[in-house]
Every structure is written in structure tokens, then in C-alpha cells.
Amino acid sequence: MAGVYISWPFCSQKCTYCNFASGVYPAGLQERYLERLLEELQGHEWRWTPETVYLGGGTPGSMAAEELRAVLELVPGKPWREATLEAAPGAIAAEAVQAWLGCGVNRVSLGVQSFIEEELRRTGRRHTAEGVARDVALLRGAGIGNINVDLIAGLPGQTEAGWRASLEWLERLEPPHVSAYMLEVDEDSRLGRELLAGGARFGAGAVPAEEKIADFYEMAVEFLEKRGWRRYEISNFARPGFESLHNLKYWRLEPYAGFGADAHSFDGEWRTANTDDVRGYIEQGPQPERTRADVASERYLTGLRLMEGVDLRAEDEGRFGGAVARFQAEGLLEREGARVRLTRRGVMLSNEVFEAFL
């Protein structure tokens, strides 16, 4: 069964660490984007009925009820097994939650990143820990108990005590799903560019050392696993039965169709990427670029992200068997029959392992 991804790239502020194709745009642009998005959805030939929908971006939680309704009415398969909406925490209104429910949304992902006010302010985010607690209570009260909270290890000024305090908020709020990422340093975010240039703006001078960030991540793994969240993917933890069905499709190489700027699709053979330029999408449509997927390689690159691992197929022994044996000897991979998975140490050095499967 397949999934649908819909991108809504509009935000009320651009967070310093954010490397997505999202931003702050004039309101008029949002209307034109919606028209294009509806056009793209209307023009799509559905070869399967989606069982999951994921609205990301950006901040789809800021869509007006009628905008969201117009978009989701064009996606067949309602009620979907899982329909996630990403929302910025801190100011979720009860009427908005009712509208989400009415449109078929049954899971909400909150871009919390940190519960520590000083860390949040530096990134440009405006919510508070108490605001997140109110949102979680509001969602639960309305019947949306399937909630994800995102956290980032390595934000400027983050200390071990601060990171622990953020983890303790998770214990208090009990979201059934947690995504804990390590700060990504690349040219696509303002903070990343500043770090690469050796500057100090955006708190770059206060970003913890790489080893410290790795320690924070390890701390999160231990903290969450001790309290019943199971790590099922490198950065994702869930109570049993709350794993993200949509994201599992990416890692298990199942098909999905993406709509909107920077949305990607995969049909089992071809990968398609829409333009990541929001204005270009509005003016010229999705401008999809297609590339044939190297399925034999991707099966391992994505499958090894999962703690369940992936089967090394007999036909791939020649290409990857040597690398698997080498990483087994180094203690980065473990193997049981055909099943291959990262060890705890392998997770920390996963990029090294993935390179061998490229």
C-alpha cells in the first residue's frame, strides 16, 4: 500500500537550523500556491489508493480549514490508516484541531525541537514548554492521541542539563512517538552556513562539539528506551503500535506520491522530485525531474536505518557481501541468516556503513 506526501512550505518565521525548502512568503503567494497544488492533485492519475497521508513542509498546521479540506478532498482513500499533519507548537487553536479531525487527520507531529526557552529563542522559534503541554492536552482531549514530538540534539547553547530537561518534558507529556535528530550542518540552513564558515552568528559559536552532540543522542536513546519508547529507526522512537506508518514506507522502499514544492515520489522504479523553488512551482508547476532508482542499493541504504534491519538478497551477495562481512568484523553490523542490521555502535557510525552501499 502506498502513501501520499503533501508539501505546504509556508512558515511564520525561518528557523536558523532549518534546511527545508520552506520560508516566509507574502500571503498572496500562498493562495497561488494552493491553486497550483490543487491542479497537481487533480491532474494525478491514481494507480493505487493511498493508506497514509503526510502533510509536511513548512507548517501545514497553519493552513485555513477550507484550504486543508480542498487539498485532502482530492486524495482518495479517506479514512486513511494514518494522516499526519505537521504543526508548529505553542498556539494551536481548538477550532483548528476540530477542522483537522473533520478532514481526516489522525496524527499530529509537533516541531518542538527543545523545551528550553533560551535554546528556542536562538533558533527563532516562539513557543514555550508550557505551550507545548497545552497543545498536547488539547489534541488528546479532541481525540488525537497519536502525537509526535521532534527534538534536536546540538542546538546552540545546549547543555547536558538542558538536554536532560527536554527529555524529562517528554516523560511528563508522554507523546507516543518521538523523533530525535542531531543538528544537521549544511549549506542549506543559515546556522549550517555560519558554522561551515567558522562564524558566530545565530549562536554558531555556542553549538556543542560533535562528540557532545553524539553523547546527547546516546543519552536520549538510553532515556527513551528505559521508559518504553522503542527505537525503530535511527532517529525515531515509538510506543508499540505508534511507529509512523507513512515514514516506514520510505525506509521499506514502498511507493509514495508527493505533491507541492520539493515533494518527492517513488513508484518502485523511478524517483521524481518536484522543483524546490516555491515561486518556480507557482509560476511553472512542479517541473518534475525523474531518475531511475538504484533499487538494489537503496534497499540497504534505507532498510539499514531500521532497527529491524533488512535481508541481504542472494543476488546482492556479490556486490555487498564483502562490505557486510567487513562491518560485521568491525562490530558495526550484525547478521542472522539473511537479515542484516546495524549494531548500537553501527548506528553511531551509520554514515560510514551507508557509504559502502552507495
CB of 250 to ligand SF4, least distance (A): 18
Identify which of residues 22 and 235 has a Cβ nearer to ligand SF4 in the complex.
22
Q: Which grid coordinates belong to 95?
A: 477550532
Identify which of residues 88 and 191 has a Cβ nearer to ligand SF4 in the complex.
88
Identify which of residues 188 and 355 has a Cβ nearer to ligand SF4 in the complex.
188
Half-sphere exposure of 75 (CA within 13 A, CB side): 29
Q: Phi and psi for 276 in degrees, rounded to 5?
A: -95, 5
- Looking at residue 80, the DSSP 8-state letter turns out to be P
Identify which of residues 155 and 332 has a Cβ nearer to ligand SF4 in the complex.
155
CB of 52 to ligand SF4, least distance (A): 20
Q: If DSSP codes are grouped into helix, strand and coil, which group holds residue 106?
A: coil
Is-contact 104 83, C-beta < 8 A?
A: yes
**Angle separating helix axes 160-173 and 210-226, nearest 10 degrees:** 30
CB of 23 to ligand SF4, least distance (A): 7
CB of 137 to ligand SF4, least distance (A): 22
Q: Which grid coordinates belong to 102?
A: 473533520
- Looking at residue 242, the DSSP 8-state letter turns out to be -
CB of 282 to ligand SF4, least distance (A): 18
Is-contact 339 310, C-beta < 8 A?
A: yes
CB of 9 to ligand SF4, least distance (A): 8
- Cβ-closest residue to ligand SF4? 18
Residue type, 110: L
Q: If DSSP codes are grouped into helix, strand and coil, which group holds residue 120?
A: helix
CB of 309 to ligand SF4, least distance (A): 30
| Contacts with ligand SF4, residue ranges (CB under 6 A) | 11, 14-15, 18, 20, 22, 57-59, 88, 111
Q: Which of 68, 83, 52 is nearest to 8 (CA)?
A: 68
Q: Which grid coordinates belong to 19?
A: 534546511
Place of cell 501520499: 4
Q: Which grid coordinates belong to 53?
A: 497521508
Is-contact 133 166, C-beta < 8 A?
A: no
Identify which of residues 58 and 176 has a Cβ nearer to ligand SF4 in the complex.
58
Identify which of residues 111 and 156 has a Cβ nearer to ligand SF4 in the complex.
111
Identify which of residues 87 and 170 has a Cβ nearer to ligand SF4 in the complex.
87
CB of 88 to ligand SF4, least distance (A): 5
Query: Does residue 31 come out as left (phi exceeding 0), alpha (psi in the -120 to 50 range) or beta?
Result: alpha
CB of 20 to ligand SF4, least distance (A): 5
Identify which of residues 189 and 342 has a Cβ nearer to ligand SF4 in the complex.
189
CA dihedral 127, 128, 134, 139 (to 10 degrees): 40
Q: If DSSP codes are grouped into helix, strand and coil, which group holds residue 23?
A: strand
Identify which of residues 15 and 71 has a Cβ nearer to ligand SF4 in the complex.
15
